[in-house]
Every structure is written in structure tokens, then in C-alpha cells.
């Protein structure tokens, strides 16, 4: 632990202190984002913007809204909301608005006039066909940054009509083909990595487009395919294919770039062992029983596996720290939930939500010293913020809203788990 | 092609990007990340959007150049480094030497963004830690990347950051891979499984670039710079779905279930005649569509499959997989795609949400015309490094498109450009430092 108050570590504890976050400004304060999206790819994109202070208005189709509301692990809903929906929709304002009728389109255009960013993840061209795509929006607001997230992009042979999920991108990109063991089928990552990776790329491009707008005064369209996003992450897969004409093989749990670095079984769990160069390989070789400490080659995956198999995870980590190679435990959600380090960093955080009470979440990964990200409130039922958005922002009266609700142009939650508020809490 | 698709193609065609302005023009990024892939990714992404990036390598070259799977090297550099060495200047500098430290500090004070993976103690010794630099350059944005982050009980753990460490801690491998079978000794593949690419490092770099852009946005509004602390483990952790909310609300931890899924089914890879393909149809209407497609409409009413909750019971997932593979086993992935598209094109709304896509080997991805037309790959040509096949920036943008501009160069290839051109050294000073081995 730091003892010198002038040291960087002491500085870091002060500068990044999670307890001080509520009093600090937000990086993207003043940026308004309209989301027309469902499931993960689109909602995660705006979640990342909202974590850093953008005001995100999530437009859902009444009365069921985002179909992610009904994706529930083992069918489990908590206070009528799915735990899988919560982490994708923090800090958002939820409105129910049907973009099919003319009055719905006009309301959307009025919102877009007051917004900086529109984010959608419908099938390519759908928003344009509805009359609320980029070409229509920019006539009303030339500063609008319009990000279209899709499986295969807005143009090209596969763009028309093809839907895509996370695992489509995992599959068609080649990502799954290089994940898993050589004598086993390709492995689908058990989390929705093809959505989140692409979502973060989309959010990154949106910030770049906002930087450009500062200079030009004009917005632009961003077309991002989630498969292309995954293709970009596959490091040496492509130059290898180009030079050898071969597919990069699956290599299981040993990293083929840094053998024997990899994931190994211990007596009580799994550990990652890592050695980037001779400076780490030699101590590793020594630890796993090499007689000649200069002989780094002795640290074969088989020797490391045998070494780990008879030890506990914490033993291997301690031996690594003492010896001068690197190791870390393989952790899961339960470990994260109880991890004092992640709690101290706000990476696992508690939000006191006015509707749900305490909700624990993953907080933002990048820690900013002056304008840190934060979770301010949790996802809400369908249409929860209609009055705030249509009333306060667009200046509609209660009577006008009632009339539109009668025509089903705007609406609120269906009376089903996933969409509706907790029992006994509805206003 | 629809009018919109035609417009979009013309407006975002990557081959026309070169003539357009760049989003981050005028932002200088200094990358000091020896031996580190995530740091390279962060700088690459900012540079793809137009930032001016300078990579500082130790004299003789970055240790990451020596990392060479299957021992394949091109002019002394392995493929991982070559895949990410783009859009930047390559300068060498001995940062352990006192003259080198002085040069580094001058470079740092000319930059808008510093990206470093070196321990804070080393940066302090160089007087290039954030508190030192900001005194002279308050607008600087300072990104530091590590395994555990710069503060918190584990921050001082002694590790050298790498992809496999970040993956292990992130919770990702914990939910990737085959479970063990009860009553049998575990087979090698029945283990938490690492993502085969360096996804941990890549996502660390991507979150780093995102954090920098958020900080630059704040600086443009307020004039204030700041420090950005990023853990690679936490970067990938943010993608680990509903781990924490499920623990909090249901007391349940996710466990690995192979190619099954605890929340949505079918959402899996199925065996087909020419390999594997992905199939998903998890809301009720889409599931009904899929049962029609495979000629088993009665299964929509089968109690095992009639609700989303019943479909995600693991024994029902296994039963359904068997049924789906009876249908897919003698069809190719393309035939399955055609069958799905024919049916869903006649059905709008939630019932159209039947999704498929072949599990491509990399060479299969490369053979598809769609990616070629969209400029998804490029062939870099260089007198030293020859021809290299690389992934292009994935974003198509109408105003300030991201783009690939240049590839790898030899260590120090841009020294004159950096030290004379950017730092304004005299020829004499440059020669003196070069002769002293500072570069």
C-alpha cells in the first residue's frame, strides 16, 4: 500500500475515489441521444454513452417495447424486470412511441431536432423506409450524428433483410473458429461478446463524430456491421491467412503467442499463468521444476499443467508473485460480486434506484479523474418517462398526451413481466 | 438496391475516404507501451479516426515485435505486432538513459494524449507521471493501462499485464467452454476457455480509446485534461452480461454451458452438412416460425418448448438441439440460410426474428464477396514488410471516415521526422543523441 503521500498511487486513490464521483461533472453532459433499438447491440451502445453523462432517450414500441425485456435467465424476473435487461439500460429515459403512424414520426422528428445523436439497430434501411432515417433527419437537423448498427452493414450483398445477433457476428467473422480446442467443435462464447464489442466500437465512433462536428458544425452517418467489428479484433488471423493460405488453428487454453501462458486447472479451480518474455519464462521454468534455471524451454504447457494440478489457485498466484512470473485466478460473477477490489474501484457498484431500491451493477471500466462515469439509475418500465420527455422536453400538455395515447401513438407498458413496474409501485 | 442503400454506399465507400477530413485531426497521441498489445490497439483506434500517433519503442525495437506464433516473422517482426502497427510514426528512444528521459518528457509535453502501460513508479522516475505532466500541460489526457488498475486493494499486485490475465479475471472464460460431466473425470476441454484471439487486450485498448475520447470531449468543453485509469480485466468484465444483476436479484452465478445459453434458446451452433451454423429463434413468435421452417409446427405447443422459460431449461435445450440437428444434418449452411430467409421475408415483426449464419473458418470469411465489396480487408504493401492482409477500420462514415493510412515501419524509421520535425531538434543535437545511443 502507498505510504508516500506524493506517490502516484496515493494520488490515484484521491483522484479516482468513487465516493467523490457524485460531486464531479460528467464528460458527456449536454449530449442528447435518441435510441431506437432492441436487445443488446444498440442498447449497449447508448448505455456506454449514458454512463458518461449523455442524456439517452430510449424510444420503444408500445406496449411490449424492447424484446430484451423478455430475455430472462432461467425465466427469472425480479420486481417484474429481467436481470438481463438492467445492465444494458442504465441512466436512460424510457418513452413508448410508435414510429409507424404519421403523428409518431412527427414526434420523433421533433425529438431529433433537439438531439445530438440518433442510434438505431433495426434491419438496414428500416428507418429510412419509415421516413425517419438519416436523410430525413438531417433535413431537420444538420448537426445530427446518426449511427446505424447492424449485422452486415447498410449496403452490400448481405445487407438487405438479413438479421443478426451477437452469435451471428461470432460465427461469420471467424471468431468462433479460432476459439476453443483443436479436437473439438468451434466454441461460441457464452456471453454476448459480438454485441458488446461492436457496441463499444459504435459508441467510440459516435464520440469521434461529435469531435468532428465541433469543427465542421455538421453531423454524419456511421454505418457499423457487428461482424466487421469482430473481424477487426482477430489480430494475427488475417495476415496469417494472407501469408500461409491457411486457417489459424484453435489452440485451446494455451496462448500460441506466449506459450506456455494459458489457463490451467488447479486443485480448487483454474488459474491463468502468464510469461511474456525470458524475464518471466526463466522464473516460471524454475518454479515448475527446471534443474537449469537458464533453460526457459523447460516450462512446457505439460510441466505447467502438472505444477498447477497439485496446487491451489492462491498458491500458484503467490508462487508467481514471489518467483517473478505472472498469475491470476479465473473468476466468475459470484467472485466479482464479493470482490473488495472491484467494490473499492466502483467496478461493482450499488445504485439506490427510486423505483427498485438497491441494484448492484458493473460500473464503467475507464476511470476518469475529473469527469468520471457513473450509474445514476436503473432501467425502467416501458414508457416510464413519457411525461418528462413529451411534456417537459417537447412542451406537450397532459390533454395532448392523452389524445395521442388514445390513438396508440404513444403508450406505456404492457401488463406483463418484463414491461411493467414492480407490484404496488405504479403511479 | 434501395435508394437509401445506394446513397449510403456512395456516402461511406471506404475507397473514397482518403479525400475526406478526419475527425481527430490535430490530436497528438504518444504511445509508450513496450511489449503491450492493448496499448497499441488504443493508439491505433485513435489514429484510425485521424489522431497523429507516435509510438516510442526501445532502441532496437519493441519486445512485441519478437512475439511470433508459429515462429513466422517478416523482417524480424511477428504477425501480432504487424496486425496492429498502423497509422503511426515509429520512433526509438532509450527512456532509461537521462538524455532519453529528457527527450521523452519534451515529447510528452507536446502531446494531447499519453498512453502508457508502464508501472506508475517508472513513470514517476521519468517525471512523466500524470501529476508531474499536468503542472506544465493542464490539458493533457493521460491513459494508463494495467491488469488491476491504479488504485484499490489489488492495484499493487505484481503482474505484467497480458491478455490471458485480463481474460481470466474478467469473468469471460468462466462462462465460455464445456461444463464437466457429473461422475466422470474432467476432459481437458471441459474447462473455462479463453477467447482464441487477444480479445482481452483488444477490448482494453478499445475502452482506452473510448475513455480518451470522453476525456477529450470534456476538455473541449472545459479546457481541463485528466487521468484515465483502465484495468484490462474490468474492460472485458463490462461485457460479461448480467453477472452482477443476477447475483444481486436472484443470488445466482452464471456457469459455463458450452454452446447453450441460460437466457435464450434456441441460440446455438448446430451441426450441418458442411460444418456448423448459428440458429436463433427465442421469442415465441420466432420459435413458431422456426418450427414451421423445420416442418415440426406441432412443437410450438410441446410443453417442453412452449414458453421461453421452458425452452431455457437445460434438458429441454439438449432435446431441442437434437431435433434441430435432425433437420440441419443433411443441409448446408447456405441452404439453411435460404430456408430461413424465404420464410421470414413473408413474416414481419417478432415472428421474423429467426437468425442464422455459418460458423466460418477465417478463409471462408475471406472468400465472401460481401466483405470484399465493403472494403473490410486491405492489402498493405511495403518495401520492407511486403504484402500483408489486414482488417480495415470497421466504421463506414459519411463525413470523417476512419481509414487505414500506413502500416508497419522499422524501429526508428520516423526518428528524424519526430525529433527534428515535431520536437524541433537541431541537426547537431539529433546527431549527438543518435551517436550516444539515445535513439
Question: Do residue A344 and residue B153 have CB atoms under 8 angstroms apart?
Answer: yes
Domain that holds residue B51: 3-239+374-435
Q: Does residue A130 sit at the B interface (CB-CB below 8 Å)? A: no
DSSP symbol at B196: S
Q: Looking at the partner chain, which of B192, B215, B250 has a beta carbon nearest the beta carbon of A263?
A: B192
Instruction: Give how far A55 is from chain B: nearest CA, Å.
Output: 14
Q: Does residue B149 sit at the A interface (CB-CB below 8 Å)? A: yes
- State the pLDDT at residue A426: 60
Residue B212 lies in a domain: yes
- State the pLDDT at residue B2: 78
The stretch A102-119 carries a mean pLDDT of 98
The stretch B42-70 carries a mean pLDDT of 98
CB A178 within 8 A of CB A250: yes
Which chain B residues contact residue A54 at CB under 8 A?
A: none
Residue B259 lies in a domain: no
pLDDT beyond 50 at A2: no
Which chain B residues contact residue A159 at CB under 8 A?
A: 5, 370
* Same domain (yes/no): B139, B283: no
Q: Between A and B, how many CB-CB pairs are < 8 A?
A: 622
CB A162 within 8 A of CB A152: yes
Probe site for chain A from B244, B341, B356 (most A CB atoms < 10 A): B244
Which chain A residues contact residue B265 at CB under 8 A?
A: none
Check A66, A166, A195, A353 and give the catalytic one.
A195
Q: What CATH number did the domain enclosing B350 receive?
A: 3.30.1540.10
Q: Does residue B274 sit at the A interface (CB-CB below 8 Å)? A: no
- State the pLDDT at residue A4: 57
Q: Read out DSSP for A280-318? A: HHHHHHHHTT-SSTT-GGG--HHHHHHHHHTS-HHHHHH
Longest CA–CA separation in chain B, Å: 85
The stretch B383-400 carries a mean pLDDT of 98
Cα B194 from chain centre: 15
Output the CA–CA distances (angstroms, integers) from residue B46 to A206, A319, B53, B393, in the order listed: 13, 38, 8, 11
The 10s digit of each residue's pLDDT in A304-353 is 999 999 999 999 999 999 999 999 999 999 999 999 999 999 999 999 99
* Same domain (yes/no): B93, B203: yes
Question: Across-strand partners of A56?
Answer: A33, A92
State the pLDDT confidence band at B438, using cuts at 50, 70 and 90.
Answer: very high
Q: Does residue B340 sit at the A interface (CB-CB below 8 Å)? A: no
* Same domain (yes/no): B179, B235: yes
CB B85 within 8 A of CB B408: yes
Task: From B329, B360, B391, give the residue that closes a domain.
Answer: B360
Q: Looking at the partner chain, which of A209, A251, A358 has a beta carbon nearest the beta carbon of B397?
A: A209
Question: Do residue A252 and residue B189 have CB atoms under 8 angstroms apart?
Answer: yes
- State the pLDDT at residue B350: 87
* Whole-number Å distance between alpha carbons of A332 and B100: 43
Probe site for chain B from A332, A344, A356, A378 (most B CB atoms < 10 A): A332
Joined grid coordinates for residue A312: 491451489
pLDDT beyond 90 at B191: yes
Taking alpha carbons only, the member of B147, B151, B122, B126 closest to residue B227 is B151
* Nearest residue of chain B to residue A13 (CA atoms): B151
Instruction: Give how far B182 is from chain A: nearest CA, Å.
Output: 16
Residue B366 lies in a domain: no
Tell me the three state secondary structure of residue A350.
Answer: strand
Query: Count of alpha carbons within 13 Å of B360, Cβ hemisphere only?
Result: 24
Which chain A residues contact residue B369 at CB under 8 A?
A: 157
The 10s digit of each residue's pLDDT in A70-94 is 999 999 999 999 999 999 999 999 9
The 10s digit of each residue's pLDDT in A160-185 is 888 899 999 999 999 999 999 999 99
* Whole-number Å distance between alpha carbons of B283 and B205: 35
CB A204 within 8 A of CB B394: no
The 10s digit of each residue's pLDDT in B220-250 is 999 999 999 999 999 999 999 999 999 999 9
Domain count, chain B: 2
Question: Do residue A247 and residue B197 have CB atoms under 8 angstroms apart?
Answer: no
Residue B428 lies in a domain: yes
The 10s digit of each residue's pLDDT in A253-293 is 999 999 999 999 999 999 999 999 999 999 999 999 866 65
Residue holding cell 527446471? A290
* Same domain (yes/no): B137, B271: no
Percent of chain B that is helix, strand, coil (3-state, to 5): 45, 15, 40
State the pLDDT confidence band at A7, using cuts at 50, 70 and 90.
Answer: confident
Domains, chain A, in order of start with CATH, read: 15-233+350-406 (3.40.50.10540), 262-334 (3.30.1540)
* Same domain (yes/no): B187, B155: yes
Probe site for chain A from B135, B241, B321, B350 (most A CB atoms < 10 A): B241
- Residue A322 annotated in active site: no
Task: From B326, B360, B394, give the residue that closes a domain.
Answer: B360
- State the pLDDT at residue A293: 58
State the pLDDT confidence band at B30, using cuts at 50, 70 and 90.
Answer: very high
- State the pLDDT at residue B258: 93
Q: Residue A370 region, left (φ>0) first, then alpha (ψ -120 to 50), else beta?
A: alpha
* Whole-number Å distance between alpha carbons of B204 and B164: 12
* Whole-number Å distance between alpha carbons of B37 and A235: 10
- Across chain B, what does the average pLDDT equal? 96
CB atoms within 10 A of CB A350: 15
Q: What are phi and psi of B23, to 5 degrees?
A: -65, -40
* Same domain (yes/no): B337, B388: no
CA gyration radius, chain B = 26
Taking alpha carbons only, the member of B308, B287, B356 closest to residue A171 is B356
Contacts of A148 (CB under 8 A, 6+ apart): A120, A121, A124, A127, A134, A154, A221, A222, A223, A224
Probe site for chain B from A172, A267, A323 (most B CB atoms < 10 A): A172
* Whole-number Å distance between alpha carbons of B400 and B23: 5
The 10s digit of each residue's pLDDT in B292-309 is 999 999 999 999 999 999
Q: Does residue B262 sit at the A interface (CB-CB below 8 Å)? A: yes
* Same domain (yes/no): B20, B151: yes
Taking alpha carbons only, the member of B137, B80, B140, B136 closest to residue B116 is B140
* Same domain (yes/no): B148, B284: no
Q: Looking at the partner chain, which of A84, A161, A215 has a beta carbon nearest the beta carbon of B345?
A: A161
Q: Annotate B253-274 with b (16+ C-beta within 10 A) or e (fewer).
A: bbebbbbbbbbbbbbbbbebee
Question: Across-strand partners of A33?
Answer: A56, A117
Element spanning A117, H or E? strand A117-120
Contacts of A6 (CB under 8 A, 6+ apart): none
CB A45 within 8 A of CB A206: yes
Q: What CATH number did the domain enclosing B38 receive?
A: 3.40.50.10540
Residue B262 lies in a domain: no
- State the pLDDT at residue A260: 97
* Same domain (yes/no): B217, B104: yes
* Whole-number Å distance between alpha carbons of B401 and B20: 7
Which chain B residues contact residue A187 at CB under 8 A?
A: 176-177, 193, 258-259
- State the pLDDT at residue B175: 97
Taking alpha carbons only, the member of B193, B405, B388, B61 closest to residue A237 is B388
- Across chain A, what does the average pLDDT equal? 95
Interface of A with B in 58-87 (CB under 8 A): 67, 70-76, 78-79, 83-84, 86-87
Task: From B301, B330, B360, give the residue that closes a domain.
Answer: B360
CB B155 within 8 A of CB B229: no
pLDDT beyond 90 at A3: no
CB A143 within 8 A of CB A218: yes
Instruction: Give how far B289 is from chain A: nearest CA, Å.
Output: 14
* Same domain (yes/no): B65, B118: yes
Residue B251 lies in a domain: no
pLDDT beyond 80 at A5: no
* Same domain (yes/no): B309, B356: yes
* Same domain (yes/no): B231, B378: yes
The stretch A2-11 carries a mean pLDDT of 67
- State the pLDDT at residue A427: 58
State the pLDDT confidence band at B347, using cuts at 50, 70 and 90.
Answer: confident
* Whole-number Å distance between alpha carbons of A91 and A29: 12
- State the pLDDT at residue B146: 98
Taking alpha carbons only, the member of B280, B354, B351, B356 closest to residue B320 is B280
Joined grid coordinates for residue A322: 514471489
pTM exceeds 0.95 for this model: yes
Question: Do residue A156 and residue B373 have CB atoms under 8 angstroms apart?
Answer: yes
The answer, yes or no, to whether ipTM is higher than 0.85 is yes
Amino acid at each position: 500500500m502507498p505510504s508516500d503521500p506524493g506517490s502516484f498511487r496515493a494520488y490515484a486513490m484521491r483522484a479516482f475515489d468513487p465516493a467523490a464521483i457524485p460531486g464531479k461533472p460528467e464528460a458527456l453532459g449536454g449530449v442528447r441521444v435518441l435510441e431506437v433499438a432492441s436487445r443488446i447491440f444498440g442498447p449497449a451502445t447508448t448505455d456506454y454513452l449514458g454512463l458518461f453523462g449523455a442524456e439517452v432517450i430510449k424510444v420503444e414500441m408500445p406496449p411490449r417495447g424492447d424484446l430484451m425485456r423478455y430475455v430472462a435467465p432461467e425465466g427469472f424476473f425480479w420486481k417484474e424486470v429481467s436481470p438481463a435487461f438492467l445492465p444494458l439500460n442504465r441512466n436512460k429515459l424510457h418513452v413508448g412511441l410508435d414510429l409507424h403512424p404519421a403523428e409518431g414520426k412527427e414526434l420523433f422528428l421533433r425529438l431529433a431536432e433537439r438531439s445530438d445523436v440518433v442510434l438505431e439497430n433495426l434491419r438496414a434501411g428500416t428507418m429510412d423506409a419509415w421516413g425517419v432515417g438519416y436523410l430525413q433527419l438531417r433535413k431537420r437537423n444538420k448537426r445530427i450524428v446518426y449511427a446505424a448498427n447492424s449485422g452486415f452493414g447498410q449496403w452490400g450483398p448481405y445487407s438487405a433483410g438479413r438479421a443478426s445477433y451477437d452469435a451471428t457476428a461470432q460465427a461469420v467473422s471467424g471468431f468462433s473458429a479460432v476459439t476453443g480446442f483443436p479436437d473439438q467443435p468451434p466454441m461460441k462464447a457464452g456471453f454476448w461478446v459480438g454485441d458488446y464489442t461492436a457496441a463499444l466500437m459504435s459508441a467510440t465512433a459516435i464520440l469521434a463524430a461529435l469531435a468532428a462536428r465541433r469543427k465542421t458544425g455538421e453531423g454524419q452517418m456511421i454505418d457499423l456491421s457487428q461482424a466487421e467489428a469482430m473481424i477487426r479484433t482477430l489480430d494475427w488471423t488475417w495476415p496469417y491467412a494472407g501469408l500461409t493460405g491457411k486457417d489459424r488453428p484453435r489452440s485451446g487454453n494455451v496462448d500460441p503467442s506466449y506459450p506456455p501462458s494459458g489457463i490451467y486447472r488447479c486443485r480448487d479451480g483454474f488459474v491463468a499463468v502468464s510469461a511474456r518474455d525470458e524475464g518471466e519464462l526463466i522464473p516460471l521454468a524454475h518454479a515448475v521444476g527446471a534443474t537449469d534455471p537458464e533453460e526457459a524451454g523447460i516450462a512446457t504447457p505439460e510441466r505447467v499443467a502438472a505444477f498447477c494440478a497439485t496446487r491451489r489457485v492462491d498458491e500458484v498466484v503467490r508462487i508467481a508473485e514471489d518467483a517473478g512470473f505472472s498469475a491470476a485466478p479465473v473468476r466468475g460473477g459470484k467472485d466479482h460480486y464479493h470482490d473488495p477490489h472491484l467494490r473499492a474501484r466502483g467496478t461493482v457498484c450499488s445504485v439506490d434506484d427510486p423505483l427498485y431500491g438497491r441494484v448492484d451493477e458493473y460500473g464503467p471500466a475507464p476511470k476518469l479523474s475529473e469527469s468520471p462515469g457513473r450509474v445514476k439509475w436503473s432501467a425502467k418500465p416501458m414508457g416510464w418517462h413519457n411525461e418528462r420527455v413529451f411534456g417537459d422536453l417537447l412542451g406537450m400538455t397532459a390533454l395532448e398526451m392523452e389524445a395521442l395515447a388514445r390513438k396508440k401513438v404513444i403508450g406505456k407498458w404492457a401488463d406483463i413481466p418484463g414491461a411493467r413496474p414492480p407490484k404496488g409501485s405504479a403511479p | 438496391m434501395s435508394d437509401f442503400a445506394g446513397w449510403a454506399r456512395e456516402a461511406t465507400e471506404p475507397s473514397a475516404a482518403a479525400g475526406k477530413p478526419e475527425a481527430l485531426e490535430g490530436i497528438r497521441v504518444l504511445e509508450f507501451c513496450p511489449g503491450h498489445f492493448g496499448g497499441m490497439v488504443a493508439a491505433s483506434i485513435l489514429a484510425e479516426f485521424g489522431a497523429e500517433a507516435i509510438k516510442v519503442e526501445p532502441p532496437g525495437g519493441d519486445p512485441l515485435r519478437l512475439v511470433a506464433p508459429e515462429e513466422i516473422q517478416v523482417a524480424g517482426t511477428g504477425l501480432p505486432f504487424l496486425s496492429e502497427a498502423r497509422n503511426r510514426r515509429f520512433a526509438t528512444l532509450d527512456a532509461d538513459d537521462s538524455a532519453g528521459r529528457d527527450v521523452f518528457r519534451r515529447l510528452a509535453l507536446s502531446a494531447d494524449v499519453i498512453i502508457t502501460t508502464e508501472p506508475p513508479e517508472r513513470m514517476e522516475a521519468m517525471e512523466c507521471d500524470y501529476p508531474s505532466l499536468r503542472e506544465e500541460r493542464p490539458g493533457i489526457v493521460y491513459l494508463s493501462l494495467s491488469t488491476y488498475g491504479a488504485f484499490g486493494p489489488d492495484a499493487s499486485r505484481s503482474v505484467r499485464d497480458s491478455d490471458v490475465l485480463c481474460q481470466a479475471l474478467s469473468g469471460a472464460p468462466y462462462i465460455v467452454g464445456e461444463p464437466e460431466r457429473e461422475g466422470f473425470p474432467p476432459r481437458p476441454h471441459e474447462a473455462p476457455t479463453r477467447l482464441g484471439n487477444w480479445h482481452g487486450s483488444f477490448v482494453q485498448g478499445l475502452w482506452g480509446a473510448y475513455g480518451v475520447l470522453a476525456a477529450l470531449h470534456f476538455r473541449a468543453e472545459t479546457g481541463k485534461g485528466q487521468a484515465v485509469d483502465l484495468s484490462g480485466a474490468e474492460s472485458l468484465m463490462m461485457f460479461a452480461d448480467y453477472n452482477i444483476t443476477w447475483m444481486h436479484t436472484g443470488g445466482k452465478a452464471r456457469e459455463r454451458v458450452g454452446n447453450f445459453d441460460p437466457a435464450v434458446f434456441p441460440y446455438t451452433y448446430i451441426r450441418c452438412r458442411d460444418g456448423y451454423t448459428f440458429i436463433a429463434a427465442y421469442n415465441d413468435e420466432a420459435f413458431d416460425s422456426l418450427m414451421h421452417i423445420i416442418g415440426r409446427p406441432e412443437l410450438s405447443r410441446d410443453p417442453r418448448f412452449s414458453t421461453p422459460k421452458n425452452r431455457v431449461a437445460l434438458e429441454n435445450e439438449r432435446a431441442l438441439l437434437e431435433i434441430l440437428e435432425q433437420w440441419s444434418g443433411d443441409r448446408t449452411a447456405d441452404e439453411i440460410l435460404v430456408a430461413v430467409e424465404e420464410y421470414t421475408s413473408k413474416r414481419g415483426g417478432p415472428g421474423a426474428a429467426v437468425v442464422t449464419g455459418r460458423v466460418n473458418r477465417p478463409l471462408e470469411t475471406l472468400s465472401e464477396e460481401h466483405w470484399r465489396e465493403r472494403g473490410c480487408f486491405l492489402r498493405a504493401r511495403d518495401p520492407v514488410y511486403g504484402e500483408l492482409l489486414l482488417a480495415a477500420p470497421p466504421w463506414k462514415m459519411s463525413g470523417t471516415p476512419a481509414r487505414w493510412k500506413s502500416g508497419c515501419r522499422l524501429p526508428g524509421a520516423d526518428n528524424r521526422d519526430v525529433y527534428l520535425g515535431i520536437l524541433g531538434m537541431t541537426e547537431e543535437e539529433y546527431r549527438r543523441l543518435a551517436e550516444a545511443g539515445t535513439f
